[in-house]
């Protein structure tokens, strides 16, 4: 294997590990202490800290069973479209779609990076749409969101104009991966194992059994894979300004699918630590956690083990691919590496029962009723989504009390 290929595979592996590592840590939510008393008008609306925890998309066991089915339907549809329609037109449509989606993904990632590196706090604005006393949609944003949205629009515009530049394509792909790992949360380890093993057989069938996956990967020109030139040291246009045809590639699915399982391992590590220190949700924090709702240290044996197993899975994929000189389904090696490593660790630590009993619950996403009655509003499950009318009512009441005192 040439030195150029070593560089290429090292770069691909490094890029794959970045969204997994940072996406996992950003998937951790704040601890819930006792609910704070609201004494200021629009207090939540002006406190940017309340916007840190975003709504996650929960993946249930039923979803895990259906993933290979949905994946197969999507893959086969893309294959047939690329086969029977003009590839250039198909790629143009896909470019437009992913450029628009990429704006949001890049903006979200840039906001997270800015907050993580600067600890910046800005006033939070809400834009809400209410119809017949039901909240149809709600957007929370700061000035930082507007700045990153503009920067993301410029970057995706350049991607569209510069003949799908591979560096910009990677930036969009990394943003998609980071966002997915951060926000997609498995219900349990059972769910994760079912999903990984289902996609294990899915990958084997579509790579070894047919030409479908390889054909789609080669012909579909969209940021759904990470790319790196096979011999960048001797390639003109090293910064991607000139078209390069020979690339090493890794599909985003080979990053995101194991990545959300690795993120689950990290949250399980934290859960085990919190159990030891006696943390109870919505109760006063234990003394060891005082003032540390999110940024506290804890042991991460399951995360470390699964993360290292993923690295070895990638190395094995590359080794087998070069040994047999044929495309390899990465999940053939990544799925067993991630699942078996964590199960063996749980057995060795005597924590198998805790491992399989661990679950993460998600609230159903339903329209929230907006009522002028404070008693109804106080029964909402999410304190960050308190009724706007309640706030006006409380301000009015406080104003009346103040006027009576003045009299």
Quote the CA–CA distance of 272 and 120 in Å, as a whole number.
30
Over the range 67-98, which residues count as b (16 or more CB within 10 Å of their CB) and which as e?
A: bbeebeeebeebbebbeeeeeeebbeebbeeb
Phi, psi of 280 (to 5 degrees): -130, 125
Answer yes or no: 221 catalytic.
Answer: no
Which own/partner pairs from 130-136 qualify as long-range (CB within 8 Å, at least 24 positions apart)? Answer: 130/370, 133/369, 133/370, 133/371, 134/367, 134/368, 134/369, 134/370, 135/367, 135/368, 135/369, 135/370, 135/385, 136/367
185 SS3 class: strand
Task: Using CB atoms within 10 Å of the CB of residue 176, give its burial: 0 to 12 exposed, 13 to 18 middle, 19+ buried.
Answer: buried
Q: State CA 131 to chain mean position distance.
A: 30
Backbone angles phi, psi at 329, to 5 degrees: -75, 110
Structure tokens at 285: 């924090």
What DSSP designation does 34 have? S
Give the CA count within 13 Å in the CB-facing half-sphere of 252.
18
- Among candidate residues 52, 53, 254, 406, the one labeled active-site is 254
Whether the Cβ atoms of residue 160 and residue 99 lie closer than 8 Å to each other: yes
Based on the residue annotation, tell me whether 254 is a catalytic residue of this protein.
yes
Q: Which of 203, 221, 269, 387 is catalytic?
A: 203
Residues designated as active site: 203, 254
């Amino acid at each position: 294997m040439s030195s150029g290929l070593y560089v290429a595979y090292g770069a691909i592996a490094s890029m794959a590990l970045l969204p997994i590592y940072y996406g996992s840590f950003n998937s951790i939510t704040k601890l819930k202490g006792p609910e704070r008393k609201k004494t200021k008008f629009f207090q939540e609306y002006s406190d940017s800290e309340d916007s840190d925890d975003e709504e996650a998309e929960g993946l249930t066991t039923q979803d895990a069973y259906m993933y290979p089915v949905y994946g197969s339907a999507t893959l086969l549809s893309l294959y047939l479209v690329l086969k029977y329609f003009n590839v250039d037109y198909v790629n143009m449509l896909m470019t437009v779609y992913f450029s628009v989606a990429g704006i949001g993904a890049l903006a979200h990632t840039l906001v997270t990076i800015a907050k993580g590196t600067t600890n910046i706090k800005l006033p939070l604005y809400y834009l809400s749409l209410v119809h017949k006393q039901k909240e149809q949609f709600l957007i929370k944003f700061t000035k930082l969101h507007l700045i990153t949205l503009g920067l993301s629009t410029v970057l995706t515009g350049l991607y569209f104009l510069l003949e799908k530049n591979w560096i910009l394509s990677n930036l969009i792909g990394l943003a998609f991966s980071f966002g997915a790992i951060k926000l997609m949360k498995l219900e349990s380890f059972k769910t994760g194992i079912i999903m990984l093993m289902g996609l294990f057989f899915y990958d084997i069938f579509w790579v070894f059994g047919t030409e479908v996956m390889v054909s789609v990967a080669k012909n579909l020109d969209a940021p759904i894979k990470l790319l790196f030139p096979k011999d960048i040291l001797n390639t003109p246009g090293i910064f991607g300004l000139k078209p390069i045809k020979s690339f090493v590639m890794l599909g985003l699915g080979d990053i995101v699918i194991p990545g959300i399982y690795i993120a689950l391992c990290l949250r399980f590590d934290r859960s085990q630590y919190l159990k030891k220190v006696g943390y109870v949700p919505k109760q006063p924090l234990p003394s060891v956690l005082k003032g540390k709702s999110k940024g506290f240290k804890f042991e991460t044996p399951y995360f470390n083990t699964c993360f290292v197993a993923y690295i070895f899975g990638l190395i094995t994929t590359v080794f087998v691919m070069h040994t047999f000189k044929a495309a390899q389904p990465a999940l053939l090696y990544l799925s067993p590496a991630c699942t078996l490593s964590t199960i063996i660790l749980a057995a060795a630590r005597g924590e198998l029962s805790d491992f399989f009993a661990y679950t993460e619950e998600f609230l159903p996403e339903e329209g929230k009723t907006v009522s002028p009655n404070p008693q109804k509003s106080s029964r909402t499950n999410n304190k960050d989504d308190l009724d706007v009318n309640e706030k006006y009512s409380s301000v009015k009441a406080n104003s009346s009390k103040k006027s009576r005192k003045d009299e």
